[in-house]
Structure 1
Amino acid sequence: MRIGDLARRTGTSVRSLRYYEEQGLLTSERTGTGQRTYDEDAIARVRLLRQLYNAGLSSTTIATVMPCVDHPSAASTRETIAVMEREHARLGEQVADLVSTRDQLAYLIAAASACGEVQADEREPVGALAS
């Protein structure tokens, strides 16, 4: 498939796909006219790359761990494993922070709703706020 097709199928910009290639994270074949083409496996790879980027991993970190994705083996270095463990721990902390924030918002919603039920007659119409 061509780069535009891959972009559409993964929800990724063409610019991002080119960046992934520049970083050595994605590969393509070139046609005789120089156009990039990708196989079907590129879809899953791009989705994984996006997931890792969205989780906050840098391109350098992703490049460090991708060999483990491409060719899992006992040859994984201690450094690569340490990088993955560090990122795993960081993501665990982010999840805990998100859960705590969600719980705080649930508390605030409940508190505001309780106040709103008591004072519903005292609320100003929505249009009045813009004045």
Structure 2
Amino acid sequence: MRIGELAAKAGVSVRALRYYEEQRLLASERSASGQRLYADGAVDRVGLIQQLYAAGLPSRTIVELLPCVETGEVTTELLHRLAAERSRIDAQIRSLTSTRGRLDDILTTTATSWCTGEPCPPAGTTLAP
């Protein structure tokens, strides 16, 4: 498939796909006219790349990880790096969960004082002044 089609199917920009190629995260063949052509599996690969970026992994780690995903082979060094990334993500989840709890407390307190005399809406409801 061509780059525009891949971008549409994967939900990313053409620019992002070109960047992924520059970072050696994604490969394409070239048509006789020089257009980029991608294999059908490229949509799944782009999805994985997006997930790994969203988790905060740098491109250099993703480049090392992708062959492991494809072949199942991994080095001890990569396993240690991935374990460290997983620990970092776990810490981030704990921090976000704590922050969400604090926001819930604020919303409960605010909703209680805002809803004088009326039943308060459940947590997660947008409150208009």
Please, what TM-score do these two structures have when normalized by structure 2?
Answer: 0.87
Q: Which whole-Å CA distance do the structure 2 matches of 1:62 and 1:84 have between them? A: 10
Aligned counterpart, 1:115: 113
- Residue 119 of structure 1 deviates from its aligned partner by 8.0
- Residue 66 of structure 1 deviates from its aligned partner by 1.3
Percentage of matched positions with identical amino acids: 43
Name which one, 1 or 2, has greater alpha-carbon Rg.
1
Q: Which whole-Å CA distance do the structure 1 matches of 2:66 and 2:6 have between them? A: 20
Q: Which whole-Å CA distance do the structure 1 matches of 2:117 and 2:110 have between them? A: 10
Between the two proteins, the alignment pairs up a number of residues equal to: 120
Aligned counterpart, 1:129: none
Aligned counterpart, 1:71: 71
Aligned counterpart, 2:57: 57
Runs of 4+ in 1 over 3 A off after TM superposition: none
Aligned counterpart, 1:91: 89
Secondary structure of 1:118 counterpart: coil
Aligned counterpart, 2:121: none
Q: Which whole-Å CA distance do the structure 1 matches of 2:38 and 2:8 have between them? A: 13
Aligned counterpart, 1:44: 44
Q: Mind listing any 5+ residue stretches in structure 2 that lack a counterpart?
A: 119-127
RMSD: 1.7
Aligned counterpart, 2:104: 106
The one-letter code sitting in structure 1 at the alignment partner of 2:57 is L
Structure number having the greater helix percentage? 1
Please, what TM-score do these two structures have when normalized by structure 1?
Answer: 0.86
